[in-house]
Chains A and B, each alone.
Chain A
Amino acid sequence: MTHLIQLHEFDGGIHPPENKRQSNSRPIRKASLPSELVLPLHQHIGAPANPVVAVGDTVLKGQVIAEPEGFVSAPLHAPTSGKISAIEARQVPHASGLSETCIVIEPDGEDTWIEHQGLCDALGLDHCDDIPVDKLLERIRDCGIAGMGGAGFPTAVKLHTGKHKIDTLILNGAECEPYITADDMLMREHASEVIRGAQILLQILGAERCLIGVEDNKPEAIAALDDALVQHNEEHHIDVVTIPTKYPSGGEKQLIQILTGKEVPSGGIPASLGIVCQNVGTAAAIADAVDFGRPLISRITTVTGDAVRDKGNWEVLLGTPVSHLLSLSGYRPAKRERVVMGGPMMGFALPTTELPVVKTTNCLLAPTEKELPTNNPAMACIRCGLCAEACPADLLPQQLYWFSKAQEFDKAEQHNLFDCIECGACSYVCPSEIPLVQYYRFSKGAIREERAAAEKAEQARIRYEARIDRQEREKAEKEAKRKARAEAAAKAQSVKKEAPAAKAVPAAEPAANADLEKLQKQLAAAQAAVAKTKEKLEAAREDPEKADKIPAFESALAKTQDKIKTLAKDIAAAKKAAKSAPAAAGPDKGDPNSPERLQKKWETAAARLETARKRLADAEVDGADTVDALRAGVEKQEARVAEAKSAYEASLNSDASLKTAVSNNAGTDNTSAETVAAKPDAEQLQKKLLAQKDRVEKAKERLEMARAEGLDSVEALEKALNKQLDKLAAFEAQASTTGEV
């Protein structure tokens, strides 16, 4: 009031019919309580809030039901008291018509407030003027306040201006969109709160002045604000500035240009100019939050358009279904029905009316086709340039249109596509009725998607290269290890060679002492065991495959348990056998197929099986969903145990048969074994041959298994198999010569 503000003009702009009279001629009414309130967790820009209530909880009015997630986020409060009836995905008010998680509250009709109080009282301060800034910010954040003009940026975040020194606060009361009168009515009826909000904001920002920009088509609001200024004795800091009516003067960037003559740098924020811009509704909400502790749970929404009988403004609880509000206003669905959330220039048409009012819903516009005809089919652009004249951002909409249509996105970007504020002025004036803004939205989306894809590709490349590096490193390490091992083995070999005789004699002794009959019996038993194990192995192997193909494991439960029992018995038996094994075991520890080794393998396999079973049992008890997976695992493990066992037994078997011959079972040195051995008779050879065949088969099986499972041991097993095959060949040769003899 006291300062003379030099107004500036922004380029372009249009003067669509205002259509505000219909809804601003009667006071704000309070909307009734609907039967349920649906609160999307994502009503603001940033991360969605995180629910802190569960279905069935009862909540009080103003109670926090969802906490902010991260810095750029806002909490959510129960708009009334009631019961949480669901937390589920519901369609949200968004042009896409997609669903997002919402908290659904069934009101109890009591509308009982949670305990709340003003910040001043809460802190127990005497002077309410010197509440610390951080407390104020905290209160604003805790009360879930987000920009109520359009985008819904969390207010507390916007007020963290960091290194920027703010000198001017701008309150946006321009409300330039046709039809909408929510801010107009708010300023008329709650001017005092708006001014109080401005005071608080000034204190937080440490700014010297506040400009409230109001279009000159709202004289009542301007008068009310002036009165409130006098009441608050704030005429020296706060100015109500009347600006000429022109769309889109209420755009943040345009309003800043009008009031200060400065332009927000492309891609920058107003704070870099020392300016913060807030909506008047947000200011009023801040006043409510700070002075009374009332979180943001309701807002003023205009319901207008010729399809509603009773046009006007409502104070609505957030989460109120649009259909409820429309029916309160006497909505008569018309042909080619549209319900627009927001104004006719920038609002979006709702896919259904079963959507809730959210923090940013300033208007519901239900026009008839006669009132706002839908566009005719677009004609070709005649490059008339009317759009460029109307564009408040000084872009070349016709060029952007050509580039977007041709999907030449880099050119569109070069023509400053991202400075387009999607105000719709260009579409409004386009004589060819081209939906220009939709083209720009498409281009922007596609470019963003492209950027995200490029980023992802870059990420993928990095991960891929890291993986290749890692694999190479691992390979190198393995190679190094293998070499080291080979060297060690070579050394051991040379040591062994030095004293072969000394070793051979004690090894041969027990064998020489052994009773042949006994040995044969053992052999037979072992062979029987091998056969049995084979069968089991087969069965066990079939099972996982069944498991693969028949996902329904439930029916197999009993069967598997039986099997576990039998296997347990097997293991017990195997353990017994194992105890006696060391005595019979061959001496050479370097051989991977030595009974000793095999026994160890078997034992560890058995132990693993045990733990697997235990886990399975646990899982079964808990009814965890991993049961099936674990069961499959157990089955595999069973197979492995069985195999290990059979391998062990086979090796025992061959060991036994060779004992009399004082042979080196390992077969690393067949010829030496041959020389050391006493001359075998044909019978013995035959047995040996059989055993060796068995072993080869086993090794093959094992190799297959390892291959199928992609285990690291494949290579080792392959080598082993080859050795066994060599041995077999040697035996066969021997047998044939013996036969000849």
Chain B
Amino acid sequence: MALLTLSSPHTHGPNRTSRIMLTVALATLPGLAVMTWFFGFGSLINTVLAIITALASEALVLKLRKYPVSFFLKDNTALVTGLLLGLALPPLAPWWITVLATSFAIIFAKQIYGGMGNNPFNPAMVGYALVLISFPVQMTTNWVTSFQVSGSDVAGFTDALSIIFAGASSTADAFTGATPLDQYKYLISKETSDELLQRNTFNGWLNGGWEWVNLAFLAGGLFLMVRRIITWHIPVSMLAALGICSLILGWDEDLYTPLSLHLLSGATMLGAFFIATDPVSASTTPTGKLIYGAGIGILLYVIRTWGAYPDAVAFAVLLMNFAAPFIDAYTQPRSYGHSKPKRGLKPGEKS
């Protein structure tokens, strides 16, 4: 009578990776909905396209690596990568940008490093950075200028399809432009802040689409926190660092982008709650998360303000990904029974 002998514990809680990933995906839905509302179907189409590409590339690589395909696809991580990338790319980006970014993210940034859990960089952001560097024009101008409030002016489904897949530029020109962050930075040398904020792009408080999009992602992020899927550390420290930088360095709205725009424009909330918190490539110790988040916030501000790119979530996150292992090694918590925490990786003297 051979009994099963497995190591303890013999019971397991309800947490499952696939479910966690699915929850993350669900939490982005409000953001996606708002984006679709304000920016038209481009976001939705690109997101779906990105997800399909992600799953297909993942399956392909797994097949090539002779790994069990369904076992890994079921973990939903490729789904989340595709989804986040779809949300981060410009809504009306041509289809090949989306496909290129997503397949690169999955194949090179994730699977080449050994697949789920082994990638040192956030795959979605690697894909994003690739296309941003390679195709700066398409990446900066395909944003929808959100003077459309009523919804009637938004790119309709067919319009979006034709712009994305057929590159119908004449249609596109009617809808696309740079993001508010970009415009503000570009125009502030010519106009005063007050004048600027009266422009269509900004359109006053809570009138443009960006504020609502960011608020929707904030809501989704809070939902994740409540479900204890992410902790408060990274988003809070990141937003705080961004805010402090902007208050101290950019207090003069006639010279620098104002705080409200930093927090509620661009990919700030998406980055803070969904991208910076990607557990695989982030720091994992409590103190480490604070440092990591703050680092992203500062870098975000620096690149946004003095860099050439309009938004900088991708670069800030990737740069901090580099630092994460190091941060982890030096921010170990104080373990039970130790008078002080250990530092670094080398076996040191007992603390």
Report A's interface with B, CB cutoff 8 A: 10-11, 14, 16, 95, 97, 178, 253, 257, 263-268, 333, 336-340, 342, 344-353, 365, 367, 372-375, 377, 379-386, 388-389, 392-396, 398-399, 410-411, 413-416, 419, 422, 424, 427-433, 435, 437-438, 441
B307 in contact (CB, < 8 A): no
Q: Tell me the complex Cα distance, A413–B350, Å.
A: 11
- Residue in A265, A340, A344, A351 whose Cβ sees the most chain B Cβ within 10 Å: A340
Cβ contact within 8 Å between A385 and B335: no
B residues less than 8 Å from A266 (CB atoms): 335-338, 350
**A429 — nearest CB in chain B belongs to which residue?**
B13
Q: Which of B115, B280, B284 contacts A399 (CB 8 A)?
A: B284
Q: Which of B5, B7, B15, B342 contacts A430 (CB 8 A)?
A: B15
Q: Tell me the complex Cα distance, A594–B286, Å.
A: 92
Tell me the count of chain B residues lying within 8 A, CB to CB, of chain A: 51
Cβ contact within 8 Å between A349 and B9: no
Q: Which 7 A-B pairs have the closest CB atoms?
A: A380-B117, A424-B9, A438-B7, A266-B337, A431-B15, A344-B11, A393-B336
Shortest CB distance B5–A (Å): 4
Q: Which of B20, B117, B282, B333 contacts A396 (CB 8 A)?
A: B333
Q: Tell me the complex Cα distance, A384–B20, Å.
A: 10
Q: Tell me the complex Cα distance, A416–B10, Å.
A: 24
Q: Which of A349, A365, A372, A393 contacts B5 (CB 8 A)?
A: A349
B151 in contact (CB, < 8 A): no
**A266 — nearest CB in chain B belongs to which residue?**
B337
Q: Which of B8, B229, B282 contacts A347 (CB 8 A)?
A: B8
B6 in contact (CB, < 8 A): yes
Q: Which of B1, B16, B17 contacts A333 (CB 8 A)?
A: B1
B residues less than 8 Å from A372 (CB atoms): 10-11
Beyond A95-B5, A257-B336, A372-B10, list 9 extra A-B contacts (CB 8 Å).
A267-B337, A337-B1, A350-B5, A367-B10, A379-B17, A380-B118, A395-B333, A415-B332, A416-B335
**B1 — nearest CB in chain A belongs to which residue?**
A352
Q: Tell me the complex Cα distance, A350–B4, Å.
A: 8
Cβ contact within 8 Å between B9 and A384: no
A residues less than 8 Å from B3 (CB atoms): 337-339, 349-353
Cβ contact within 8 Å between A441 and B342: no
Q: Tell me the complex Cα distance, A462–B298, Å.
A: 58
B residues less than 8 Å from A383 (CB atoms): 117, 279-280, 282, 284
Shortest CB distance A724–B (Å): 67
Shortest CB distance B81–A (Å): 12
Q: Tell me the complex Cα distance, A346–B8, Å.
A: 5
B residues less than 8 Å from A257 (CB atoms): 336
Query: DSSP class of B's interface residues: helix, strand, loop or mixed?
Result: loop
Shortest CB distance A378–B (Å): 10
**A345 — nearest CB in chain B belongs to which residue?**
B9
Given A424-B8, A428-B13; A253-B284 close (CB under 8 Å): no
Q: Tell me the complex Cα distance, A379–B78, Å.
A: 14
B193 in contact (CB, < 8 A): no
B12 in contact (CB, < 8 A): yes
Q: Tell me the complex Cα distance, A433–B280, Å.
A: 16
Cβ contact within 8 Å between B338 and A419: yes
Within 8 A of A (CB), among B312-351: 328, 332-339, 342, 344-348, 350
Cβ contact within 8 Å between A431 and B11: no
Cβ contact within 8 Å between A427 and B279: no
Cβ contact within 8 Å between A374 and B336: no
B187 in contact (CB, < 8 A): no
A residues less than 8 Å from B347 (CB atoms): 410-411, 413-414
B231 in contact (CB, < 8 A): yes
Shortest CB distance A396–B (Å): 6
Q: Tell me the complex Cα distance, A695–B295, Å.
A: 96
6 contacts between A and B (CB under 8 A): A345-B10, A350-B3, A383-B282, A393-B336, A428-B12, A437-B7
Cβ contact within 8 Å between A16 and B11: yes
Shortest CB distance A249–B (Å): 13
Given A352-B3, A382-B279; A178-B11 close (CB under 8 Å): yes
Q: Which of B4, B11, B279, B335 contacts A393 (CB 8 A)?
A: B335
Cβ contact within 8 Å between A414 and B348: yes
Cβ contact within 8 Å between B12 and A353: no
Contact with A along B65-82 (1 / 0, CB 8 A): 000000110010100000
B residues less than 8 Å from A377 (CB atoms): 71
A residues less than 8 Å from B16 (CB atoms): 431, 433
Shortest CB distance A193–B (Å): 30
Shortest CB distance A670–B (Å): 74
Given A379-B75, A431-B17; A337-B4 close (CB under 8 Å): yes
Within 8 A of A (CB), among B196-240: 228-229, 231
Q: Tell me the complex Cα distance, A410–B336, Å.
A: 19
Cβ contact within 8 Å between B5 and A375: no
Cβ contact within 8 Å between B350 and A336: no
Shortest CB distance A393–B (Å): 4
Cβ contact within 8 Å between B336 and A263: yes
Cβ contact within 8 Å between B15 and A394: no
Contact with A along B282-318 (1 / 0, CB 8 A): 1011100000000000000000000000000000000
Cβ contact within 8 Å between B284 and A435: no
**A349 — nearest CB in chain B belongs to which residue?**
B5
Cβ contact within 8 Å between B337 and A382: no
Q: Which of B5, B9, B17, B334 contacts A394 (CB 8 A)?
A: B334
**A441 — nearest CB in chain B belongs to which residue?**
B7
Given A337-B4, A379-B116, A383-B279; A349-B10 close (CB under 8 Å): yes
A residues less than 8 Å from B17 (CB atoms): 379, 382, 384, 431-432
Within 8 A of A (CB), among B4-49: 4-13, 15-17, 19-20
Cβ contact within 8 Å between B117 and A351: no
Cβ contact within 8 Å between A384 and B335: no
A residues less than 8 Å from B133 (CB atoms): none
Cβ contact within 8 Å between A348 and B8: yes
B2 in contact (CB, < 8 A): yes
Cβ contact within 8 Å between B9 and A385: no
Q: Tell me the complex Cα distance, A458–B345, Å.
A: 26
Q: Which of B7, B342, B344, B345 contacts A416 (CB 8 A)?
A: B342
Cβ contact within 8 Å between B115 and A380: yes
A residues less than 8 Å from B11 (CB atoms): 16, 178, 344-345, 372, 428
Q: Tell me the complex Cα distance, A87–B333, Å.
A: 51
- Residue in B19, B71, B336 whose Cβ sees the most chain A Cβ within 10 Å: B336
Q: Tell me the complex Cα distance, A435–B15, Å.
A: 14
A residues less than 8 Å from B346 (CB atoms): 410, 414
Q: Tell me the complex Cα distance, A388–B8, Å.
A: 18
Q: Which of B10, B19, B75, B332 contacts A344 (CB 8 A)?
A: B10
Shortest CB distance B52–A (Å): 23
- Residue in B72, B332, B337 whose Cβ sees the most chain A Cβ within 10 Å: B337
Cβ contact within 8 Å between B342 and A414: yes
B residues less than 8 Å from A394 (CB atoms): 333-336
Cβ contact within 8 Å between A427 and B337: no
Shortest CB distance B102–A (Å): 20
Given A264-B337, A394-B334, A396-B285; A374-B4 close (CB under 8 Å): yes
Cβ contact within 8 Å between A385 and B12: no
Cβ contact within 8 Å between A16 and B13: yes
**B68 — nearest CB in chain A belongs to which residue?**
A377
Shortest CB distance A695–B (Å): 70
Q: Tell me the complex Cα distance, A675–B229, Å.
A: 113
Cβ contact within 8 Å between A267 and B350: yes
B residues less than 8 Å from A16 (CB atoms): 11, 13
Given A386-B15, A399-B284; A97-B5 close (CB under 8 Å): yes
**A377 — nearest CB in chain B belongs to which residue?**
B71
Q: Tell me the complex Cα distance, A308–B296, Å.
A: 56
Q: Which of B4, B115, B279 contacts A384 (CB 8 A)?
A: B279
A residues less than 8 Å from B345 (CB atoms): 411, 414
- Residue in A16, A348, A379 whose Cβ sees the most chain B Cβ within 10 Å: A379
Q: Tell me the complex Cα distance, A11–B336, Å.
A: 9
Given A392-B336, A396-B284, A415-B342; A435-B115 close (CB under 8 Å): no
Cβ contact within 8 Å between A429 and B15: yes
